[in-house]
Amino acid sequence: MIRLTRLDRREVVLNCDLIECLEASPDTTLRLVTGKHLVVRESVDEVVERIRAWRGAVLARAGAAAGSLPAPSVLAPLAAALAATETEEVAA
């Protein structure tokens, strides 16, 4: 979600996944996948930078969450030991 300012200075918070395209004509106009248009005070470059920052923050949080899990190379021996234990139980 990014914060933008309408021409009347009201703030709007927008899900940037809904943006289909941006135009500078001369005001910045966002065309959404819903077919609606939104005119904002920010420049096209500012909107693009806010989208990049938001996506970067999402990826950073996802990486931090993934970093808390053990690496697959650590899990492989555990999975093999578990499989061997299950096989022994079936044989007994």
Would you state the structure tokens that stand for residue 46, as one six-digit string?
């500012």
pLDDT for the residue 25: 87
Amino acid at position 18, single letter: L
Taking the C-alpha atoms of residue 50 and residue 9, their distance in angstroms, rounded to an integer, is 18
Sign, Cα dihedral of 27, 28, 33, 37: negative
**Tens of pLDDT along the chain (92 residues)?**
999 999 999 999 999 999 999 999 899 999 999 999 999 999 999 999 999 999 999 998 888 766 655 555 655 666 666 666 555 444 44
- Domain range enclosing 70: 2-91
pLDDT at 61: 87
For the chain, what is the domain count? 1
